A and B are shown apart, each in its own frame.
Chain A
Amino acid sequence: MVLVFVENSDGKFKKAALEAVTYGRKTADLLGSECHALVIGAADNAGELGNYGATKVYQLSNDNLNSFDSQTYTQAISGVANDKGASTIILSNNASGMALTGRLAARLDAACVSGANALPTLDGSNLRIKKNIFSGKAISEMTLTGEKKVISVTGNSLKPETIGSPCEVEAVSVDVSAPKSKVISQDKQTGGPAPLPEAELVVSAGRGMKGPENWGIIEDLANIIGATTACSRPVADTGWRPHHEHVGQTGVAIRPNLYIAAGISGAIQHLAGVNQSKCIVVINKDPEAPFFKAADYGVCADLFDVVPKLTEAIKKAKA
């Protein structure tokens, strides 16, 4: 059985979680097996995970799991996997996934791929899975030979698909020790656009902006299409924009459908984190800017002129 750990965001499931369920179902189909989902904590609509491919949902509530702790969550997920006979565990490659994937693999002495960006294929009884390496400058294909496997899936690698119907939810329990770490506060943007790793549309800007006071035109463009804003590294380093907006080899690696870059030169370290975007638009006044070589569409002009015009053109097209 393939067990998908579905992250529960205050009773709701984010897109990344649904993607993991669809990934799990397709992996189960490949292995001739079933796809079950595990939800920790209360969620009213857990059975709806069936729509995305799960045929059973396990719901686990335990006071020791009220706040995220990688150690107790690992005990819980591996406990359910062992009790229910799961050979493969799938999770999202996000902040909690990064804390859990390696732990689970070590605990189960399993083969492990983090950041899978395509569905597996079969090689005899082994799975083969592609993942990006060098922040997208190359791709490696991994062969998983262990009996147990742990796979974390990169966001936006596949679309959540409606391939099933609501399914049975079974309450389960496992022994979990008291957590040794405690979340004491959270500071999350509420509402607003999707966080960068999940965003389908991203508007990004670099040093060509001249200063933080000029970001209004970037925010306007982002707002009108519902995009998330990002920036180049020097922009975050000088404090013009918050660190979590920094994309590239040493920042967030993203793969949105659309990446609009204004006033960014396109240094190799920047490209490494964004070159998996499906469509790249580059606005730069220097015709020699290296970013044009990685772009689908280019506009060679002053961004202070072009960006507001683009925003207007989109408004017009939407009206």
Chain B
Amino acid sequence: MKQLVCLSKTPETTTQIKLTGDGSQIDSNGVNYILNPYDEWYALVRAIELKEAVGGTVTVINVGDASNDVVIRKALAIGADDAIRVDADPSNALGVAKSIANNVKEAGYDIIYCGKESIDYNGSQVPAMLAELLDLPFVALATDMKVDGQTATIKRDIEGGSETVEVQTPFVLSAAKGLAEQRIPNMRGIMQSKRKPLNVVSSDVNDAKTQISGYALPSGKSEVKMIDPENMDELVRLLQEEAKVL
């Protein structure tokens, strides 16, 4: 089984988002970066589990600059075999998907994993775009996967429940919570990761049709109104008459 996992780098989840003075950028001062949790915890670990069960390889791919090598090495420490970094600006989803597609088109991967979204731009776009560019079936929001030969049986989240989908390799999936359990890299993995191949390739994709033209922060809440725990009638009244939500 030849597997590929797409990784993105995101700010750590406790990051307080601040804007630069003129509001035109997210202030990256003091921000710590991690592997996107959906990519690391669910997509990568499921791929490694499957490799442990049936053999084969797990390659990881990331689009970004050399500062991403730290998080890519972490994926190698968790158990991926080798890595590709496409040296390009990842700010446009279609550009990222094209950069990945161009580099993996000929490689013949059986399963290509993405996280269900990156926790920074919450786009959920790259996995579906990649599937379309590679002309492959795509199963979004996978929470469980069983593989038997070339047939995968995948459970995916839908509104208010789940559905089970059957698909043959090759295909693309996006990983949601439940697909696997987070793994912490051990010392041996960390030592090995330093010697695993990380190939840097270039990309000439450059046709952004969607740009970020500005940022804002959500308007702050007004002061909380504390309600006497003995007077829930008052809370109900406020919810009905002041907030008008009941």
Interface residues of A (CB under 8 A from B): 14, 69-71, 74, 93-96, 98-107, 109-115, 123, 128, 130-146, 179-189, 192, 194-198, 201, 225, 236, 243-244, 246, 249-251, 253, 257-258, 268-269, 272, 275-276, 278-282, 292-301, 305-306, 309-310, 312-314, 316-317
Contact = CB atoms under 8 A, between A and B. Distances in A.
Main secondary structure of the interface of A (DSSP, over half): mixed
Contact of B236 (A110, A135, A244, A314): A314
Contact of B246 (A94, A145, A188, A225): A225
B233 A313 contact: yes
A138 B232 contact: no
A319 to B, nearest CB: 12
B147 interface: no
B129 interface: yes
A253 B217 contact: no
Given A70-B138, A258-B245, A102 B168 contact: no
B143 to A, nearest CB: 7
Given A105-B129, A250-B177, A71 B138 contact: yes
Given A141-B213, A188-B160, A309-B232, A134 B119 contact: yes
Given A71-B138, A181-B165, A188-B158, A278 B245 contact: yes
B129 A103 contact: yes
A185 B158 CA distance: 12
B236 A310 contact: yes
B49 interface: no
B90 interface: no
Given A298-B225, A314-B236, A128 B213 contact: yes
18 contacts: A71-B137, A95-B141, A98-B117, A99-B138, A102-B127, A105-B94, A106-B133, A139-B218, A141-B216, A144-B209, A145-B209, A189-B160, A196-B160, A257-B245, A279-B243, A279-B245, A296-B225, A299-B232
Contacts of A281: 235, 239
Contact of A188 (B161, B167, B243): B161
B14 interface: yes
B23 to A, nearest CB: 11
Interface string B126-148: 11111111011111110100000
A7 to B, nearest CB: 9
A310 B156 contact: no
9 nearest A-B residue pairs (beta carbon):
A102-B128, A195-B160, A146-B209, A301-B229, A188-B161, A313-B232, A111-B209, A99-B140, A106-B132
Main secondary structure of the interface of B (DSSP, over half): mixed
Contacts of A145: 209-211
Contact of A180 (B137, B159, B246): B137
Contact of A142 (B97, B162, B212): B212
Nearest to A227: B246
B227 A297 contact: yes
Given A101-B128, A297-B225, A95 B157 contact: yes
Given A69-B137, A137-B17, A102 B213 contact: no
A93 B212 CA distance: 19
A181 B236 contact: no
A279 B241 CA distance: 13
Given A181-B137, A268-B14, A317-B233, A253 B128 contact: no
Contacts of B209: 109-112, 144-146
A295 to B, nearest CB: 5
B214 interface: yes
A139 B215 contact: yes
Given A140-B215, A141-B215, A279-B243, A102 B125 contact: yes
A176 to B, nearest CB: 14
Interface in B202-238: 207, 209-218, 221-222, 224-227, 229, 232-233, 235-238
Contacts of A244: 157, 160-162
A313 B217 CA distance: 36
B218 A138 contact: yes
A166 B217 CA distance: 40
Given A269-B13, A292-B224, A98 B116 contact: yes
A256 B129 CA distance: 30
B121 A133 contact: yes
Contacts of B163: 183, 185-188
A99 B128 contact: yes
A269 B165 contact: no
B123 A182 contact: no
Nearest to A107: B132
B182 to A, nearest CB: 10
